[in-house]
Amino acid sequence: MSPLLLLLFAAFGSMVAVFDPFDGEDDTGTSEDDAMRVGDEDPLVDSNGAALSEPDPNSEAESLNEGLSDSDLVSGSEDDDILNGSSGADAIQGGDGNDVLSGSADGTGDDGMPDQLFGEAGDDVLYLGSDDTGVGGEGADTFIATADAQGNVTIEDYNSEQDALVVETYDKNTSVSHQTVSEGSLKVSLSTGLTITLPGVDSPLNDDVISFVLANPLHDGG
Is 0.75 surpassed by the pTM of this model? no
pLDDT of the residue at 22: 52
Decide if 212 contacts 19 (C-beta within 8 A).
Answer: yes
Averages of pLDDT over each 10 residues, the chain, 222 residues: 46 46 44 35 50 44 53 86 87 95 80 91 96 97 96 98 96 94 97 97 92 76 41
The span from the CA of 74 to the CA of 18, in Å, is 32
Decide if 45 contacts 55 (C-beta within 8 A).
Answer: no
Q: Which residues pair with 123 in a beta bridge?
A: none
* Short-list 212, 220, 14, CA closest to 108: 220
The span from the CA of 200 to the CA of 192, in Å, is 24
Q: What is the pLDDT of residues 139-155, one digit of tens each?
A: 999 999 999 999 999 99
pLDDT of the residue at 27: 43
Letter string b/e over residues 23-34, b meaning 16 or more CB atoms within 10 A of that residue's CB:
eeeebeeeeeeb
Q: What is the separation of C-alpha 140 from the centre of its chain, rounded to a whole number of angstroms?
A: 13
pLDDT of the residue at 217: 64
pLDDT of the residue at 93: 95
Strand extents, DSSP E, the chain: 18-19, 62-63, 73-75, 81-84, 91-93, 100-102, 116-118, 125-128, 133-135, 142-145, 152-155, 164-169, 176-182, 185-190, 195-199, 210-214
Decide if 6 contacts 55 (C-beta within 8 A).
Answer: yes
Q: What is the pLDDT of residues 62-78, one digit of tens each?
A: 555 554 556 678 889 89
